[in-house]
Amino acid sequence: MTTLSLVEDDVKLFGKKSRSDDQPVIEAPAPVEEEKPISVVVVDDDDDLRGILRIALESRGFDILGDTSDAMAALQVVRDGQPDIILLDLAMPEVTGLEVLPLLLEQSPRSKIVICSAISATHMTEAALDAGADAYIIKGVSAKTLIGHLRRVAHSGPVRPVRPYPLGRDYVEPPTPTAG
Overall pTM surpassing 0.85 (yes/no)? no
User: Tens digits of per-residue pLDDT, 37-82?
Assistant: 999 999 999 999 999 999 999 999 999 999 999 988 999 999 999 9
As beta bridge partners, residue 114 has 87, 135
Q: What are the angstrom distances between the C-alpha of 86 and each of 15, 150, 167?
A: 49, 10, 18
Domains of the chain: 39-154 (3.40.50.2300)
Residue 165 scores a pLDDT above 90: no
User: Mean pLDDT in the chain?
Assistant: 76
Q: Where does residue 97 fall: left (phi above 0), alpha (psi -120 to 50 degrees), or beta otherwise?
A: alpha
Report how far residue 36's alpha carbon sits from residue 77's, in angstroms, rounded to the nearest whole number.
20
